[in-house]
Amino acid sequence: MKIQPTPLKDCYIIEPTIFEDDRGYFYEKFNEQKFEELTGMNGHFVQDNISKSSYGVLRGLHLQKGEHAQAKLVSCLEGKVFDVAVDLREDSPTFGKWFGVELSAENKLQFYVPRGFGHGFSVLSEMAVFAYKCDNFYNKEAEGGVLWNDKELSIDWKLPENDVILSEKDKIQPTFAAKNY
């Protein structure tokens, strides 16, 4: 496992060591001990979620607030997505900055998004299956979010705007300036 820092404080790209031969491949998707050793971050996860989405679906920007905040370790099991994290920690040197990475079944990369970040992804392939490991349980009352196309953040989702498919909730998320985080 290799850990690549990103421009955002405490966010990491995780590249697995893949063992391939004519039969297929094997890789260790997650190892809590190695993760903590390489990042210094807590790697204890309590909930796994899977979503399946078609091309153009954009899910985000979401987060859990307060004591229900969640760190996430995300990956794409089928297809390809553009995954985005936004630092919403007001005391962070990277507050208000975003970073995105392409995750796919082919590259097998994972992206660690710590607590206090908004998170979302856009589907770039015909279909994608996306996996989330979360270090805290979901709580509906603790939902927060930021509008996906907030002008202040100016995120490039790698999709033509006419192709974007949103949930009703994501269409009406507040702006970054409204501080729903």
pLDDT, one tens digit per residue, over 79-115 is 999 999 999 999 999 999 999 999 999 999 999 999 9
Whether residue 62 lies in the annotated active site? yes
Residue 177 and residue 47: Cα distance in Å, rounded?
30
How high is the pLDDT of residue 58?
98
How high is the pLDDT of residue 47?
96
| pLDDT tier, 163 (very low <50, low <70, confident <90, very high otherwise) | very high
Is pLDDT of 117 > 90? Answer: yes
Residue 15 and residue 141: Cα distance in Å, rounded?
34
How high is the pLDDT of residue 42?
87
Pick the CATH number of 2-178 from 1.20.58.110, 2.60.120.10, 3.30.460.80, 3.40.1010.10: 2.60.120.10
Q: Out of 62, 112, 119, 181, which one is annotated catalytic? A: 62
Residue 43 and residue 53: Cα distance in Å, rounded?
27
Render pLDDT for 11-64 as a digit per residue (tens, 0 to 9). Answer: 999 999 999 999 999 999 999 999 999 999 988 999 999 999 999 999 999 999
Residue 176 and residue 149: Cα distance in Å, rounded?
10
User: pTM of this prediction?
Assistant: 0.95
Check: CB of residue 68 under 8 Å from CB of residue 136.
yes
How high is the pLDDT of residue 81?
98
Residue 162 and residue 141: Cα distance in Å, rounded?
32
How high is the pLDDT of residue 160?
97
- Burial code of 36-60, b = ≥16 C-beta within 10 A, e = fewer? eeebebebebeeeeeeebebbbbbb
Domain range list for the chain = 2-178
Question: Rg for the chain (alpha carbons), in Å?
Answer: 16
Q: Out of 12, 112, 119, 132, which one is annotated catalytic? A: 132
How high is the pLDDT of residue 167?
98
